[in-house]
Amino acid sequence: MTRPPCTRGCRRRTTSAPPRTRCPSRRSLRSAPRRHRSVGAVARLLLVRHGQSTWNAEHRWQGHSDPPLSDLGERQARLGAEAVALLDIAVLFSSDLQRARQTAALLAPPGVDAEVVPAVKERTVGEWEGLTRTEIEEQYPGMLRSPVRPPGFESDEALITRVRPALVSLAERVGDRAALVVTHGGVIRSLERLFESTPDVLPNLGGRWFVVIGDTLELGEPEILIDPHDVALTAPREE
């Protein structure tokens, strides 16, 4: 897939060491990204992938299809809620797809309700929706390993065009606080590629911090809300 160029209003946050994925610990979960030194409100958004869905369990590409969480996905979200309780989360947002809404409801701190934001839903994957990787390879030989995608597949550029303004708008409402956004693997990885970051395989309840200053989006640290050794991780890459 062709990597979209970084556009004005996006920059990679500079740190003394490259970001690394962290398993949750009391210390790391209490340590949300530090506030930026710029004058004015600085919003911190933690984008997190939903729990395992029934189609994740079957390794099916989902896109805008709307399967619910699996039993394991519900367990993952409940475990993730313990981690969220240690974070300074003031506001909670969610994609409008069922797997994200269910995850958000289980993650929500006491007294915090999730607001649905359709603009942060997963990319549509066109003719691949509902297919497994094996079925895709049979019907579209070699396409998974190429930059070519089937009709109806939403590109990184198109996805970012709808997601980035939505995040900036949410940040304006959040102000100088932290918010949790329950979204999807394709959204998070596309944003990481925007900053020329090579995305790792993203587990359920894995995610990434972003810092928003005005209309500028900065890449923060990875975060995982559950211990990946406690629950099974899922595929495929674009779900």
For residue 236, being part of any structural domain is answered with no
Catalytic residue list: 50, 122
How much is the pLDDT for 181?
A: 99
Other Cβ atoms closer than 10 A to 34 = 11
For residue 156, being part of any structural domain is answered with yes
Number of domains in the chain: 1
Give me the mean pLDDT over the 29-43 stretch: 50
Can you tell me whether residue 14 is helix, strand or coil?
coil
How much is the pLDDT for 228?
A: 72
Domain region containing 210: 10-224
For residue 230, being part of any structural domain is answered with no
Residue 82 exposure: Cα atoms within 13 Å on the Cβ side: 9
Give the Cα separation of 155 and 148 in Å (integer).
10
For residue 110, being part of any structural domain is answered with yes
Sign of CA dihedral 157, 158, 163, 168: positive
Sheet containing strand 178-183, edge to edge, reads 10-12, 216-224, 206-213, 42-49, 178-183, 89-94, 114-116
pTM of the model: 0.81
Residue 232 exposure: Cα atoms within 13 Å on the Cβ side: 13
Give the Cα separation of 169 and 142 in Å (integer).
39
Other Cβ atoms closer than 10 A to 125 = 23
Tens of pLDDT, residues 94-149: 999 999 999 999 999 888 999 999 999 999 999 999 999 999 999 999 999 999 99
Give the chain's mean pLDDT. 85
Q: Using 50, 70 and 90 to split pLDDT, how confident is the model at 26?
A: very low
Q: Which residue has the higher pLDDT, 29 or 52?
A: 52
For residue 232, being part of any structural domain is answered with no
Q: Using 50, 70 and 90 to split pLDDT, how confident is the model at 200?
A: confident
For residue 164, being part of any structural domain is answered with yes
For residue 235, being part of any structural domain is answered with no
How much is the pLDDT for 60?
A: 98
CATH number, residue 180: 3.40.50.1240
How much is the pLDDT for 72?
A: 95
For residue 231, being part of any structural domain is answered with no
Nearest 10 degrees: CA dihedral of 22, 91, 182, 121? -140
